[in-house]
């Protein structure tokens, strides 16, 4: 195959037909390690605090507008009321991310420590990036290309807005950089991320101290009966101590910052 401009053969790294083929899959996977790694190094991102949660949870003002419209136009009132109730998690994510960013910016460090990072989309992900941006801190969005949804939210720092093709490479960057995790109410994707990280911690594949906050006690108690796993003997009693459950931004902030100061402050940089 020749270049259309000068008739010369294409170099392999300029041949899109080859790069997008099954034969070059290993190169595409490798690029989703090397290119993010280069950017993280350039912007001196040592480690992150990850926020997981539903893409469907609305900001409070938007939920209020939809409720007013449902009342006025005879829409789905039950759904609008539920969305307004769930919007508390958007606002609490936003507040927690803002406070954690302000705290991390106050640390005496040459590099950027404990940077807020989300999956880059709407809902809880947007709230996390929004809170960090309101604290005037750099924040990370690890977006993923999906057929029907997942557009990057406008609050991600432009320099640290990533777009992944491979879920497993995106998951690698979540786990590798994270020094703490906040899990807000979410669906299949949130459950997937939560259980994968808990499994890695439980089995010792992640050796670093990894504080995990499950935010929203009633939600998680209804969605996952984790105590039943221990009761039936499929996990150990101490496995229930791998996460901290709360409904309080203050408690979540205190738990995360205390854990980070005790176990991670003197160990900068990504690691498993």
Measured distance between the N- and C-terminal CA atoms of the chain, rounded to whole angstroms: 43
- Please give the Cα distance from 254 to 231 (Å, whole number): 30
Distances (CA, A) of 181 to 108, 128, 141: 22, 12, 15
Instruction: Please count the helices (runs of H) and the strands (runs of E) in the chain.
Output: 10, 7
- Please give the Cα distance from 122 to 137 (Å, whole number): 19
Mean pLDDT for the chain?
A: 95
Angle between helices 124-134 and 77-105 (to 10 degrees): 40
pLDDT in tens, 27-82: 999 999 999 999 999 999 999 999 999 999 999 999 999 999 999 998 899 999 99
Contacting residues for 148 by C-beta, under 8 A, at least 6 apart:
none
The single-letter DSSP state of residue 153 is: P
- Please give the Cα distance from 100 to 68 (Å, whole number): 33
Coil, strand or helix at 245: strand
Of 228, 242, 129, give the one whose Cα is nearest residue 196: 242
Span 132-149, average pLDDT: 92
Q: How confident is the model at residue 2 (pLDDT cuts 50, 70, 90)?
A: very low
pLDDT on residue 6: 64
pLDDT in tens, 164-199: 999 999 999 999 999 999 999 999 999 999 999 999
The phi, psi pair for 58, rounded to 5°, reads -95, 155
pLDDT on residue 1: 45
Q: Cα 9 from chain centroid?
A: 43
pLDDT on residue 150: 63
- Please give the Cα distance from 45 to 158 (Å, whole number): 14
Q: Cα 239 from chain centroid?
A: 22
Model confidence pTM above 0.85 = yes
Q: Assign 3-state DSSP to the chain and report helix, strand, coil percentages, each to 5.
A: 55, 15, 35
């Amino acid at each position: 195959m020749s270049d259309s401009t000068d008739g010369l053969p294409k170099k392999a790294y300029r041949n899109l037909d080859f790069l997008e083929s099954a034969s070059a899959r290993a190169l595409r996977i490798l690029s989703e390690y090397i290119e993010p790694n280069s950017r993280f190094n350039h912007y001196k991102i040592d480690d992150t605090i990850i926020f997981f949660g539903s893409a469907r949870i609305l900001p409070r003002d938007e939920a209020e507008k939809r409720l007013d419209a449902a009342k006025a136009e005879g829409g789905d009132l039950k759904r609008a009321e539920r969305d307004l109730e769930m919007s508390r998690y958007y606002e609490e994510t936003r507040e927690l991310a803002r406070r954690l960013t302000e705290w991390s910016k106050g640390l005496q460090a040459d590099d950027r420590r404990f940077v807020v990072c989300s999956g880059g989309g709407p809902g809880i992900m947007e709230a996390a990036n929004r809170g960090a941006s309101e604290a005037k801190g750099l924040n990370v969005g690890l977006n993923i290309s999906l057929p029907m949804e997942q557009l990057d939210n406008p609050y991600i720092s432009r320099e640290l807005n990533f777009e992944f093709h491979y879920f497993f490479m995106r998951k690698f960057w979540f786990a590798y950089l994270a020094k703490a995790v906040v899990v807000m109410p979410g669906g299949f994707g949130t459950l997937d991320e939560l259980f994968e990280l808990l499994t890695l911690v439980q089995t010792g594949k992640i050796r670093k101290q990894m504080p995990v906050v499950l935010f929203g006690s009633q939600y998680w108690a209804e969605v996952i009966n984790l105590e039943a796993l221990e009761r039936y003997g499929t996990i150990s009693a101490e496995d229930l101590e791998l996460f901290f459950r709360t409904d309080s931004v203050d408690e979540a902030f205190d738990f995360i910052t205390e854990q980070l100061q005790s176990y991670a402050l003197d160990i900068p940089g990504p690691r498993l």
